[in-house]
Amino acid sequence: MNQADSRRDELRDNLALVRSRIDQACGTAGRDPSEVHLIAVTKLFPASDAALLAELGVHDLGESRDQEASVKAAQVSELTTATVRWHFVGRLQSNKARSVAAYAHLVHSLDRPVLVEALSAARRRLGRGELEVLIQVSLDEDVDRGGVHPDGLAQLADQVADAEQLTLAGLMAVAPLNAAPDPAFERLAELAGQLRSQHPGATVLSAGMSGDFESAIRHGATHVRIGTALLGRRAPSFG
């Protein structure tokens, strides 16, 4: 068996395991698994892996750095005709907004007003219609990990909703490091409910990674972002 075939088998096995964990978590939570969308986070893995996942039926792929994502998106489109929707899940610098707006299907990490302007202007220039965005909210006090403070969420949401070319699709969060995920995701569910009361269309809740997605599903996640459990361990010291 060649290397590509054995990698395909490995990804297929990992995918089956992740899907069964999602199904089980949905069963426990009394939710329909069709409500939970799997995003494979392919950062630091090659375009060939991303293409294999798309061919295995994972059509939503996530990246966290524009430099890597823009190159990979082009490579993947050469490697496969399978449908791929790119999700930008990492910290976004405003000078990268134009690049990201060109390939992103959903931006998960809008967390400050300057990005509303930058993404809206970029999308207008591209003439590609509305871009769906999630607001990333911080569940701890660590601003380096991104996210608007919960106190600023409502105002930022209004700005996104008023912006031309942007559609407010929902909320995203990363659980705090070194703390139990359940209380954090419970708080997130509250914030998501408040957001929906003002913006009924904001129904997406992007939460849960390899280590905590069962908890996120219990608390209403509609999109889980899974890297390690699908692809294996990344090189150390990279978030």
Residues 80-109 that bind ligand PLP (CB under 6 A): 89-90
**Which residue is it, tokens 């990201």?**
100
Measured CA to CA, the distance from residue 133 to residue 119 in angstroms comes to 9
**Binds ligand PLP (CB under 6 A): choice among 18, 42, 58, 64:** 64
Spatial contact of 39 and 225, defined as CB atoms under 8 Å apart: yes
Select 165 or 215, whichever has its Cβ closest to ligand PLP.
Answer: 215
Give the phi and the psi of residue 131 in degrees, each rounded to 5: -110, 130
Tell me the residue type at 140. Answer: D
Binding mask 194-213 for ligand PLP (x = CB under 6 A): ---------------xxx--
Give me the amino acid identity at 68. E
Binding flag, residue 239, ligand PLP (CB under 6 A): yes
Distance CA 170, CA 46 (A): 29
Site for ligand PLP contains 227 (CB under 6 A) = yes
41 binds ligand PLP (CB under 6 A): yes
Report the residue number, 193 or 239, with the smaller CB distance to ligand PLP: 239
Strand-pair partners of 38: 224
- Does position 216 interact with ligand PLP (CB under 6 A)? The reply is no
Binding interface with ligand PLP (CB under 6 A): 41, 43, 64, 89-90, 174, 209-211, 225-229, 239
